[in-house]
Amino acid sequence: MRSAERDRAFSEFVGARRSHLRRVAYAICGDWHRADDLVQTALVKLYVAWPRVHRDGHEEAYVRTIIVRANIDEHRRPWRREQPGLPARDEPAREPLPVEERTALFEALQALPTMQRKVVVLRHWLGLSVAETAQELRISQGTVKSHSSRGLEKLHEALAADRG
């Protein structure tokens, strides 16, 4: 089969069967966007195998098989299990603190020893985990925990003294 004939035959098949294949893919995966992706994947693979598949007359069966297998492959991929966004970090912004409270907090932070301040900012302001903070500061996780505990305690004391 020459290239022009191959492309024409393939284009005719796609034109006639694409919407049906999309409905089949939707029935398999339950999502129109994923169905479009599955059909596209199947048609790319069909194009590669077109001379053999068209000669045997099993185009539709071949495409359906690819759609099913591609859907299975998608579910097996680890990134499919990931959730979009960042857990516990995509929350709506809180109301900003009044200027007086922000000033008191900033002054209390500045009064902390350097390492405690770094740990408190990384852990509680930026939301890094203990392990991430330890790696960032090149200290042990135990040191992160103790600096965090002591720093938060000093912050609470300083802010309570400002209020009282």
Is the pLDDT reported for residue 85 higher than 80?
no
* Structure-token match 């048609």, residue found: 43
pTM for the full model?
0.48
Over residues 3-29, the pLDDT tens digits come to 888 899 999 999 999 999 999 888 888
**CATH number attached to the domain at 99-163:** 1.10.10.10
**DSSP 8-state assignment for residue 98:** P
Spatial contact of 6 and 50, defined as CB atoms under 8 Å apart: yes
Question: What is the torsional sign of CA 116, 119, 123, 125?
Answer: positive
- Which residue ranges make up each domain of the chain? 3-81, 99-163
Query: What pLDDT score does 44 carry?
Result: 94
Mean pLDDT of all residues in 62-91 = 72
67: tokens are 């759609």
Position 76 scores a pLDDT of 74
Handedness of CA 10, 16, 21, 26 (dihedral sign): positive
Task: Tell me what percent of the residues of the chain surpass a pLDDT of 70.
Answer: 85
pLDDT in tens, 99-147: 767 788 788 888 888 889 888 888 887 888 999 899 888 899 999 999 9
